[in-house]
Structure 1
Amino acid sequence: MAGPDRVCVGAITGAFGVRGEVRLKSFCTEAEAIGDYAPLWTEDGSRSFTVKITRSIPNGLAARLSGVSNKDQADALRGTRLFADRDKLPGLPDDEFYHADLIGLTVLDAGGTEIGKVRAIHNHGASDLLEVTGPGLKAPILLPFTREVIPTVDIAAGRIIADVPEGLL
């Protein structure tokens, strides 16, 4: 599995054409920048690739990966998530975070009572939502990742303070 020294920056969604190009979904702010962070690794770290973006296509990018020279090889990589070494990624301002850094953090309410842990981050277009699970929750809750709801993120301490909207718990 990818460790804390690697961050997921994209995923292969299938083959593009018959000459080994792949359809690539980039999770980078500037989609084409994904190639700048090569080598990109599979989640288990068993393979790495250099990336050459060939063009933009609907819902992603077409790209050539090192070691992938035909459609069968490209198809075999469908669903593969790609990870970059953290030290190759740009630094972030104090109020921005890589999703990988938020997963697993303990979420506390404003009074210091533990709500649960961040299991995933979702984005359906409006803003990021933190999926929080915990033993006291019947089902996971989704917290908007906004300053109003999440006033404090302390990566070093491994915690997030949440001002949970009334009625959510």
Structure 2
Amino acid sequence: MTRPDRICVGAIAGSFGVQGEVRLKSFCADPEAIADYGPLWTEDGTRSFTVKLTRASVSGGVGARLSGVATKEQADALKGVQLFADRDRLPSLPDDEFYHADLIGLTAQDTGGVTLGTVRAVHNHGAGDMLEILGPGTKSALLVPFTLAVVPTVDLAARRIVVDMPEGLE
């Protein structure tokens, strides 16, 4: 179980070479900043790694050495592992930006105060963030663009967002 004071900053995409290097998929605005937030932890918190970048931009990621990983086999075994940084090691965000982890679990309400559901995930497939909202008793999720026009209010203290549903998504 992920601790709430940790944020996912990347994932191990695979090995690179034969000396235990890994290819990291960085979720940071500056991909190379992932090395600044260490130590990085596995999701369950049982392992931590210091990160030393070895090469920039390798097949959609960055090349790195992780402490305790010395062989290609060890690096291969970590493929797919998500890496988490302690929140207090990350930069503060402007008022209109949010870590995905802070949005997940918020109650989504329409502009009239009717509950639409709970934010289950935040997706980005290249055209901007989309919030996945799952309503009570529904089998399929509602996907809404995470823009100021569609989500004019994010109230982290009250654990809710307000969604002004675009025509056609209702």
TM-score bin (small chain): over 0.9
- 2:24 aligned residue: 24
* Distance of 1:117 and 1:168 partners within structure 2: 16
Q: Deviations over 1:69-115 (max 9, x none)?
A: 00010001000000000000000011100000000100000000000
Q: Deviations over 1:128-154 (max 9, x none)?
A: 000010125441011000010000000
Which residue identity does 1:23 align to in structure 2?
R
Runs of 4+ in 1 over 4 A off after TM superposition: none
TM-score (norm 2): 0.97
Unaligned stretches of 5+ in structure 2?
A: none
- Cα offset, 1:167, TM superposition: 2.7
1:36-115 equivalences under 5 Å are 36-56=36-56, 57-115=58-116
TM-score (norm 1): 0.98
Unaligned stretches of 5+ in structure 1?
A: none
1:132-143 equivalences under 5 Å are 132-143=133-144
Q: Deviations over 1:18-51 (max 9, x none)?
A: 0000010000000000000000000000000000
Identity of matched residues, %: 69
- Seen in structure 2, the aligned counterparts of structure 1 residues 101 and 119 have a Cα distance that, compared at 3 Å, is same
Which residue identity does 1:113 align to in structure 2?
V
Counting matched residue pairs gives 169
- Cα offset, 1:66, TM superposition: 0.2
- In angstroms, what is the RMSD of aligned CA positions? 0.9
